[in-house]
Amino acid sequence: MQYRIVGDSLPAVICDVAEGETLITERGSMSWMTPNMKMETVSGGLGRAIGRMFSGESLFQNRYTAQGGPGQITFASSFPGAIRAIRVTPDHPVIVQKSAFLASEATVELSVHFQKRFGAGLFGGEGFIMQKLSGDGIAFVEIDGYACEYELAEGQSMVVDTGYLAMMDATCTMDVVSVPGIKNALLGGEGIFNTVVRGPGRIILQTMPISAVAGTLRAYFPSSK
């Protein structure tokens, strides 16, 4: 597969695939394709389908295969931001936010990832249930807004507001801590809890999570009576 990402802040990834090559997507993200790209909808097994549902995706996958020659297919982002091509290998799985998965080669497997720490599960909001990408291949992930990348060494950490963590290596760990000081927590406007991500590994933070945008716009919509 050859690919190119176009579109700046409203991106799409255009994939040129060889005959017989298959790409998968979870949410019907196909935007346009050549006529010889044949679609098949599969579940991949009940257990995997339920896991995908918990991680914010649909129960089914769409598989697109080039038949009768090379083909082309394009997947567009659902929100202004960026698309990153992530290389997944058996010894380098990655964890991404819910609904971040856009498409991938058929050799990449998508599953649900639950945070092991109770605090992260109880108070982490969007960080509680995430997606795990494993296998061997290229996956395309959506980032809300601009993507800021950091490489955390062993023992290094980053404090992140809920929803701003887009991706992390599976070697990283995540926990939730309370904002220190009652006045800070109640009057600071930053919420009561923060997410702490610890290395080693790479993390990608996003500047405009869709949850934050929805919260900002809510004040401008009239409430129903």
This prediction has a pTM of: 0.82
Q: For the residues 57-75, what does the mean pLDDT come to?
A: 90
Cα separation, 224 vs 203, whole angstroms: 40
- For residue 124, is pLDDT > 50? no
Instruction: Name which of 100, 127, 98, 93 is nearest 29 in CA terms.
Output: 100
Nearest to 95 by CA among 212, 207, 213, 201: 201
Decide if 182 contacts 155 (C-beta within 8 A): no
User: Contacts from 212-216 at CB under 8 Å and sequence distance 24+?
Assistant: 212/163, 212/164, 213/144
Beta bridge partners of 174: 197
| Domains of the chain and any CATH numbers | 2-218 (3.60.160.10)
Give tens-digit pLDDT for 71-105: 999 999 989 999 999 999 999 999 998 878 999 99
CA gap 180, 160 in Å, rounded: 14
- pLDDT, greater one: 64 or 100: 64
Residue 55: other Cβ atoms inside 10 A: 23
Mean pLDDT in the chain? 83
**Residue pair 206/145 in contact by the 8 Å Cβ criterion:** yes
CA atoms within 13 A on the CB side of 104: 23
pLDDT average, residue stretch 24-49: 81
Highest mean pLDDT among 4-8, 51-55, 96-100, 191-195: 4-8
d(CA 131, CA 129): 7
